[in-house]
Amino acid sequence: MSTINAQNYGDGTDSVPASAVLQGTAKAWVNFDGTGTVAVRDSYNVSGLTDNGTGDYTVSYSNAFANNDYAPHVTIKYESSGFGSVTASIRRVSNALTTGSSRFECFFGSSDYDCEIVSVTSRGDLA
C-alpha cells in the first residue's frame, strides 16, 4: 500500500495512507443558481442539471458511481428580499439516488423553494 507523508509540526513522523486520501476525496461536485433558468457556476464530474419544478433538482454525473451507496451532501441558501437571508432545508426525493444521478428538493417550512445557492458534493467509489 502506498503512503503519503504529511509533515507533523511536532516531530514530522506522521503519514497518511493514500487510500484514506482517495476515499475521502469528492468524486463529483457542483455549485449552481437554482432560481429562474438554472445555471451551473462551477462543477467537477457533473454532466447535467435538471430543474424538475420549484426547488426540485437532479444532478447527473459524468462518471457514474459504483453503486448507489455513495454519499451526496447538499447545502442550500434561499434568499428573499422579504425575509433577508434564510437557510432552507433539503429532502431527498424517494428512490432518487442512482449511480448516475441524485435528485433532491429544497424547502422552507412546508413549501418548496428555488434556492439561489445550491452546492452538491458526492463521495464514494466511481464505477
Please write the tens of the pLDDT for every residue from 57-114: 999 999 999 998 888 888 887 665 544 444 555 666 656 789 999 988 887 777 888 8
Confidence band (pLDDT; 50, 70, 90) for 116? confident
**Domain boundaries along the sequence of the chain:** 26-123
At residue 111's C-alpha, the angle toward residues 82 and 90, to 5°, is 100
Task: Average the pLDDT over 23-52 and give the result.
Answer: 93
Task: Average the pLDDT over 109-120 and give the result.
Answer: 84
CATH dotted code for 26-123? 2.60.40
Tell me the three state secondary structure of residue 24.
helix
**CA 54 to mean position of chain CA atoms:** 19
pLDDT on residue 85: 45
Task: Average the pLDDT over 41-68 and give the result.
Answer: 94
- Biggest CA–CA distance in the chain, Å, is 56
Please write the tens of the pLDDT for every residue from 10-21: 445 566 666 666
